[in-house]
Amino acid sequence: MSNPNSKDDFLNPRSAYWGDFTPENLTFNANLQEFAQRVALICGLETGGKIAPQEAYEQIKELWKQLKQSKKNLINNAAPPNSEDV
């Protein structure tokens, strides 16, 4: 009997995160991996003639906006530790 998650793991592989660990970095990394997977899927659909080039562009543009917002919220706005709290 196969693992029920094997199909999902195959279609949406996740790489381990090896950077400086913070919850914000880990979350952004997951968002970045999802962005890359979705862009690859959209490119495949466009290459296969399933969606128009302009539609592919618009979808990727929207995904990019979401990723930029994620970076702004998670990375740029992450407050450094306050030395007074130590």
pLDDT bin (cut points 50, 70, 90) of residue 83 is very low
Q: What is the pLDDT of residue 34?
A: 95
Q: What is the pLDDT of residue 2?
A: 52
pTM for the model stands at: 0.75
Inter-axis angle of helices 23-47 and 53-71, nearest 10? 180
Burial class (CB in 10 A: 0-12, 13-18, 19+), 60: middle
Q: What is the pLDDT of residue 86?
A: 41
Q: Which of 20-34, 39-53, 70-84 has the highest mean pLDDT?
A: 39-53
